Amino acid sequence: MKKREVMNHYKALVFFDLDGTLLDADSEISKENHQAILTLKKNDILPLIASGRSPKEINQITKGTLIDSFVSLNGQYNVVENKVVSKHVIPLKLIKELMRFSESFGHSLVCYTETEYATRYLTESMEKLYQLDHAPLPQIAPDFYKEHEIYMLYLFSEEVAKDLLYQEKFSDIFTFFRDSPYSLAVVLKGQSKKAGIKEVIKTLDLDGVPTYAFGDGNNDIGMFEAVDTAIAMDNASAHVKSHADYITKSHIKDGIRLGLKQFKLLD
């Protein structure tokens, strides 16, 4: 990976998950969190997003915050200072294999590019998830995955007992992150928020700079492993909290600002 000429004066890097972490109950950045991000930038601390969401969604959500760097689609598409530094396309053959297997259970897939997402057919589980995230339902386009570069897949299943079947069958191909009662994020084996964060840090050439991460979900555990200090939200599960160095308040009780202050990243 080629390193870019960047401003290397950052005193620290702080990675934020979005849903259940930086975002409030309405899937928006609160005024308090917005101000905290602006203050970090002013203090030469780089705020970055690390999320399962797409680049388009991240840019829409963070508009006005001056955030220009992120790990998106669970490490599949990564940007530093508005420049793409790495992206990992899922081969069409592998998408077809997973699609055939998932449809045998009546489970649907949503295919993500950097700007769009689509499915062959809608399911009730799908409707529940996008309503929970306050996001538009995917377009119905049966050949979408054949016509675009796909970076992440979303598998919709409420049958948690079947997760192991997917993990076993595709153990050499995909990694599955159950991130809601309704869905699993699917990325290429070896890719994750952890891998994406490492690619971003390498691009910034800031290996010695302190790194922090805030998260609440299972797909944030890898992110916690990639940074010096892992901070879990109080709304995280006990399993996620067990991987954290510090537990802050929940995402709806000013947990971000309190966590930043705990580590003297905010005045």
Spatial distance between the Cα atoms of 224 and 194, rounded to a whole number of angstroms: 8
199-209 pLDDT tens trace:
999 888 887 89
Spatial distance between the Cα atoms of 65 and 130, rounded to a whole number of angstroms: 24
Per DSSP bridges, beta strands 152-156 and 108-112 are antiparallel
Asked whether residue 133 carries a pLDDT value surpassing 70, the answer given is yes
- Structural domain ending residue among the three candidates 160, 188, 216: 188
DSSP 137-148: PPEE-TTHHHHS
With CA atoms as reference, report the closest residue to 51 among 34, 28, 72, 78.
72
With CA atoms as reference, report the closest residue to 183 among 166, 198, 169, 170.
166
Let me know if residue 23 belongs to a domain: yes
Same domain? 98 vs 175: yes
78-131 pLDDT tens trace:
999 999 999 999 999 999 999 999 999 999 999 999 999 999 999 999 999 999
User: Residue 72: what pLDDT?
Assistant: 96
Q: Which residues is 205 bridged to in the sheet?
A: none
Retrieve residue 6's tokens: 């960047």
Tally of domains within the chain = 2
Q: Which CATH number characterizes residue 258's domain?
A: 3.40.50.1000
Asked whether residue 3 carries a pLDDT value surpassing 70, the answer given is no
Q: Among this protein's residues, is 17 annotated catalytic?
A: yes
pLDDT (mean) for 130-152: 94
Average pLDDT, the chain: 93
DSSP 232-248: E-TTS-HHHHTT-SEE-
Map tokens 């580590």 to a residue: 263
Let me know if residue 150 belongs to a domain: yes
pLDDT (mean) for 137-142: 96
230: left (phi over 0), alpha (psi -120 to 50) or beta: beta
* Residue-wise burial string across 220-244, b where 16 or more C-beta atoms lie within 10 A, e elsewhere: bbbbbebbebbbbbebbeeebbebb
pLDDT (mean) for 6-28: 89
User: Residue 108: what pLDDT?
Assistant: 95
Same domain? 133 vs 253: no
pLDDT (mean) for 158-173: 97
pLDDT (mean) for 239-253: 97
201 to each of 5, 179, 211, 214, how far by Cα in Å?
13, 25, 9, 16
- Structural domain ending residue among the three candidates 153, 170, 188: 188
Q: Which residues is 84 bridged to in the sheet?
A: 79
Spatial distance between the Cα atoms of 96 and 22, rounded to a whole number of angstroms: 34
Domain that holds residue 21: 12-87+191-262
3-state secondary structure of 39: helix
Choice among 1-10, 19-28, 145-154 with the minimum mean pLDDT: 1-10
User: Residue 127: what pLDDT?
Assistant: 95
60: left (phi over 0), alpha (psi -120 to 50) or beta: alpha
Asked whether residue 2 carries a pLDDT value surpassing 50, the answer given is no
Let me know if residue 3 belongs to a domain: no
Retrieve residue 229's tokens: 């200090």
- Structural domain ending residue among the three candidates 188, 214, 243: 188
User: Residue 124: what pLDDT?
Assistant: 95
Kindly state the percentage of the chain with pLDDT values over 70.
97
User: Residue 8: what pLDDT?
Assistant: 60
Quick one: DSSP state of residue 181? T
pLDDT (mean) for 184-210: 91
Selecting among 17, 19, 179, 216, the annotated active-site residue is: 17
